[in-house]
Chains A and B, each alone.
Chain A
Amino acid sequence: EDQVTQSPEALRLQEGESSSLNCSYTVSGLRGLFWYRQDPGKGPEFLFTLYSAGEEKEKERLKATLTKKESFLHITAPKPEDSATYLCAVIDQAGTALIFGKGTTLSVSS
C-alpha cells in the first residue's frame, strides 16, 4: 500500500534558524512528489513538484530535494511568516489521487 510519512509532526524554530522537514514514501512507480503549504483554515497552496531522484526546486527560502525514498524541504533563515503546515504528497504511475502525509506544522518565532 502506498504510504507517505512526514517528520517531525511539529517543529519550532527561532527566526533565522535553518532546518529541514522530511517526507518518506513507499509507492510503486513514483510519478511525482508534491509539496504544499497550508495555513490554518485555508486550502493547501502548491509549492513544488519533483519527478525524479536528484531533482531540486527552490522558491525564496525553501528548497525541495528528492531521493528514491524520501524528500526534504529545507528552510533557510526562516521568518515568522513561514509558519504553516507543510504537506507532502505523492502519486504513482497508475494512481489518480494525491496520497498525502499528515504534515509538519512549523512555528517560527521572532
Chain B
Amino acid sequence: SQTIHQWPATLVQPVGSPLSLECTVEGTSNPNLYWYRQAAGRGLQLLFYSVGIGQISSEVPQNLSASRPQDRQFILSSKKLLLSDSGFYLCAWTPWGIGNEQFFGPGTRLTVL
C-alpha cells in the first residue's frame, strides 16, 4: 500500500531564516505531487505541483520554491521566511494523473516568529 510522509511535523523558525520541508511517497512510482498551504480561516491553497523529476509548476507567486530531486521526493524551500509564511503545509499525491482525487500527508505546522 502507498504511504506519504512529511517532516518535520512542527517547526518554529525566526523571520529571515531558511526553510526546508520534505515529502516522500512510498509504494508507488511516478506520482503527481502537490504542496498546499492551509492558513487559519482560509481554504487549502495549492502552492506547487510536479508531474515528474525536475518538473515544477507554481500556482501563486510567493516567497517559496519547490524541487523534486527524486521520483517520490518533493521539497518545499525558502531562503528567507516571512511572518506570512506561517501555516499548515500539506503534501499530496495522486497516482492517476491530474484531475483525480489526491491523498494528503500528515502535514507540517510552521510558525514563523
Contact = CB atoms under 8 A, between A and B. Distances in A.
A102 B42 CA distance: 6
Contacts of B102: 34, 46, 98
A97 B101 contact: no
Contact of B44 (A31, A32, A46, A87): A87
Interface of B: 6, 34, 41-46, 49, 57, 59, 90, 92, 98-107, 109
A70 to B, nearest CB: 17
Contacts of B90: 43-44
A44 B38 CA distance: 11
B49 A97 contact: yes
B101 A46 contact: yes
A96 interface: yes
Contact of B106 (A42, A96, A100, A103): A42
Contacts, number: 56
Interface residues on A, range: 20 to 34
Nearest to B107: A43
B103 A102 contact: no
Contacts of A99: 43
Given A4-B43, A41-B109, A96 B49 contact: yes
Given A43-B104, A87-B43, A95-B99, 4 more contacts: A34-B102, A43-B6, A100-B43, A103-B43
Contacts of B43: 4, 87, 99-103
Contact of A91 (B42, B99, B106): B99
Contacts of B59: 96-97
Interface string A25-40: 0000001101010000
A97 B106 contact: no
16 contacts: A4-B43, A32-B100, A36-B104, A43-B104, A43-B105, A44-B90, A44-B104, A45-B104, A46-B104, A95-B98, A96-B98, A98-B46, A98-B102, A101-B43, A102-B41, A102-B42
A37 B104 CA distance: 11
